[in-house]
Structure 1
Amino acid sequence: MSDLVSISQEVLLEYEAKRSKLAGESLDLCDDFGKFSEECAFLFDAFAAVAREPECITPDTIEGIRHINFWLKYQVIGYREKIDNIHAGLRALKLKPQE
């Protein structure tokens, strides 16, 4: 408890601002991922429908699937980077008593 007493108000305010920013980023990321998840569910249903009727696979269908796969790959990479950034921010967010 004495460690908290030796932390200045300015440091506490800065800490709270960073914590609040990370919390906001985390909530935004959760909302974005929820929308992404819904889009993925739709796409997976579409892929399953195409697989059930392989005769409908045209060069345009193949190009569309390739494009969607590319988009999915980079969406997942983007989410991983955002998660890593939030985790790094949380790891760095530590209160340290003043000397």
Structure 2
Amino acid sequence: MSESNLPLTEDEIKREQLSSDFVNLSDDFSKFSEECAFLFDAFAAVGREPECITPHTSEGIRHLCYWLKYQVIGYREKIDEMQDCWRGLSRKK
């Protein structure tokens, strides 16, 4: 039986899944980064014209900052989980 036809081990399956998860996370983070760039430009524009900051604008900024905060926390948690998984697999080698 050739090596390419051997069934994958549990660790190899985990490594493949982790690689797939990493690609997905990287794609998601790239989209998030683009959204952040747009938002930061918008915040800068609002900051240049403080008279345009209405209560609705202020509430929108507060909401977006809250959203950004929890998006970053979510990415940090996903990265930490992936690092822990990778470390566990690396120790088994």
* Deviation of the 1:13 alpha carbon: 1.4
Aligned length: 87
1:34-73 → structure 2 map (5 Å cutoff): 34-73=30-69
Q: Is 1:26 the equivalent of 2:41?
A: no
Q: Which amino acid aligns with 1:95?
A: K
- Give the ranges of 4+ consecutive aligned residues of structure 1 lying more than 3 Å apart after TM superposition: none
Take 2:34 and 2:80, find their aligned partners in 1: how far apart are those partners?
A: 22
Q: Is 1:13 the equivalent of 2:15?
A: no
Identity of aligned residues (%): 66
TM-score (norm. length: structure 1) = 0.83
What value does the CA root-mean-square deviation take over the aligned residues? 1.5
Q: Which amino acid aligns with 1:70?
A: Y
* Deviation of the 1:15 alpha carbon: 1.1
TM-score (norm. length: structure 2) = 0.88
Mark the runs of 5 or more structure 1 residues left unpaired by the alignment: 1-8
Q: Which has the higher contact order (CA 8 A, sep 6+)?
A: 1
Take 1:25 and 1:82, find their aligned partners in 2: how far apart are those partners?
A: 10
Bigger Rg, structure 1 or 2 = 1
Mark the runs of 5 or more structure 2 residues left unpaired by the alignment: 1-5
